[in-house]
Amino acid sequence: MVHSQQVDADFLALPLDAVADSAISTAKGLGASHVDVRIERIRTGYLSIRNTATETQSDNSTSGVGVRVIVDGCWGFASSPEIGVDVAASLAKSAVAMAKTSKPLSTEEIALAPEPVYPKKTWVSAYEIDPFSVTGDERIARLTGLNEKLLKADGVNFAEASSMFVKEQKHYADSYGTSTTQQRVRMQTQIEAVNVGAEGFVSMRTLAQPAGFGWEWMDNKNWNWDAEIDELPALLAEKVAAPSVEAGRYDLLIHPSNLWLTIHESIGHATELDRALGYEANYAGTSFATVDKLNNLKYGSDLMNITGDRVTPHGLSTVGWDDEGVEAQSWDIVKDGTLVGYQLDRRIAARGGRDRSNGCAFADSPSHVPIQRMPNVSLKANPQGPDLAGLIESVEDGIMIKGDNSWSIDMQRYNFQFTGQQFHRIKNGKIVGQVKDLAYQATTTDFWGSMKRVGNESTWVLGGAFNCGKAQPGQIAAVSHGCPAAVFDKVNVLNTRAEAGK
């Protein structure tokens, strides 16, 4: 893929090759069988507006070097916020010493799945406008203008807007000869309208999802912000006046702005092979989708086709190479409803008897060691499926759910409950108004097994999150989940107000 952007000159001006060479040669001279080096700079901007007042405006950068080694089958790692040749050599010595110190406590030898060598490669994500090239006044004016439109509408008492933008630059080199330099940009903006009345605080948030765009994300080419803001007050007023849902079983038409989170929790985390093997349990537990179920677990209906990838344009997990020098790929996780694959880094690939990693190693800073992290995990559209209007027409008695909100899932990624932003009642193929106080509940395999209609490409949207947590010490990663709208048969719906005893 060809992009107009290039890696920033001031990052390329750093002594990237010299620093990496110093660490690699020093560690190899001390007996390391594997060495990899990451030189990183991560810049994060944040802006929040309450009504028309700027609440927060920040611009922070993190940079440094991380050196990882294998000595006698044991990991060693060291890092520093300083970037320099002598620092790199010192880190290599510390990493080797750590590996040797840890050796008596090791329960198994580390092995890495092989990967071809990629010398002197460069990759830049698909964005147009570096968000850090936009002035603070321009950013404030854009968000404040959208809030002002909301505040002019009847029934909107407060408006909140926030935007986060990240530029991540990374140089990777290893002792086999791979050397990659990458730069990627991502954006997340959310705007929320709040009504205060007899129902208390009732809110509704925009449906726009975070993605690998630059500031162009805030114009109306890729997402029509102004059109959504124009519609939001009427939707909020309808939600305020809506009846509380009657608990029971309904056909659910779930929009991608909600379904992405169900994919993340019930499929994304469940098919991390380190969880399935029991190597990882932090944040999200282990997984019901254990390795003995590969190629025989019926995860969902025959319409269910889930892929993992690090190549989707504008994906939050999209890269050229991962943090172990593995080239970005795409692969099947669930095919025709059956579990057929997992997410892998090089260590877990070797541990699980796989020939190759599928490129899922990532560290969220130079001070953290790379671990297996989620790629873009997505549900394929049905080429023969209906559009959104056709999906609505197919539902006799159901509810369309848009937007994500709270969620809960057990430590095996199996029993879950999700809520949303908008709940549109459907009767005889027509939307007849909103309901509220709704959550849907199921087990993972029952839910995906009930998927009876999947929309076509026109319904497919790339969703995701900036803040997926994993490991200890904890790391945060941004990840995307693309999916079409889909209809699920007779899913259990709870009335959250009644469940709370109100």
DSSP for residue 172: E
Nearest alpha-carbon partner for 168 in 340, 43, 331: 43
Q: How far apart are CA 139 and CA 155, in angstroms?
A: 26
Encoded tokens for 458: 């026109």
| pLDDT of res. 418 | 98
Q: How far apart are CA 359 and CA 128, in angstroms?
A: 26
Sequence spans of domains, the chain: 9-241, 248-499
What are the start-end ranges of the H helices in 5-82?
9-12, 16-29
What is the end-to-end Cα distance of the chain in Å, rounded?
Answer: 54
| pLDDT of res. 23 | 98
Nearest alpha-carbon partner for 47 in 159, 171, 174, 137: 137
What separation in angstroms does the CA of 474 have from each of 169, 170, 363, 466, 470?
A: 21, 20, 10, 14, 6
User: To 10 degrees, what angle do helices 16-29 and 85-102 make?
Assistant: 30
Q: How far apart are CA 367 and CA 226, in angstroms?
A: 40
C-alpha angle 84-89-94 in degrees, rounded to nearest 5: 120
Q: Residue 482, exposed/middle/buried by CB under 10 A (0-12, 13-18, 19+)?
A: buried
Strand 306-309 with 430-434, pairing: unpaired
Strand 330-335 with 306-309, pairing: antiparallel
Q: How far apart are CA 268 and CA 478, in angstroms?
A: 13
Nearest alpha-carbon partner for 303 in 252, 250, 378, 379: 379
Q: How far apart are CA 191 and CA 142, in angstroms?
A: 12
Helices vs. strands in the chain: H and E counts, helices first:
11, 24
- Cβ pair 82, 291 in contact under 8 A: no
| Bond from prior residue into 383 cis (ω within 30 degrees of 0) | no
The torsion angles phi and psi of 478, rounded to 5 degrees, stand at -95, 135
Q: Does the reported pTM lie above 0.85? A: yes
C-alpha angle 232-395-249 in degrees, rounded to nearest 5: 90
* Host H or E run for residue 469: strand 461-470
- Cβ pair 343, 272 in contact under 8 A: yes
Considering the segment(s) 9-241 as one domain, its CATH architecture is 2-Layer Sandwich (3.30)
Strand 415-418 with 407-409, pairing: antiparallel
The answer for residues whose C-beta is within 8 angstroms of residue 141's C-beta and 6 or more apart is none
- Cβ pair 43, 167 in contact under 8 A: yes
- Cβ pair 100, 70 in contact under 8 A: no
DSSP for residue 432: E
**What does pLDDT average to in each consecutive run of 10 residues of the chain (502 residues)?**
75 98 98 98 98 97 98 97 98 98 92 98 97 97 98 97 98 98 98 94 96 96 95 97 97 98 98 94 90 97 98 98 98 98 97 95 97 98 98 98 96 97 98 98 98 98 96 95 98 94 76
Query: E strands of 34-148, at which residues?
Result: 34-50, 53-71, 74-80, 121-124
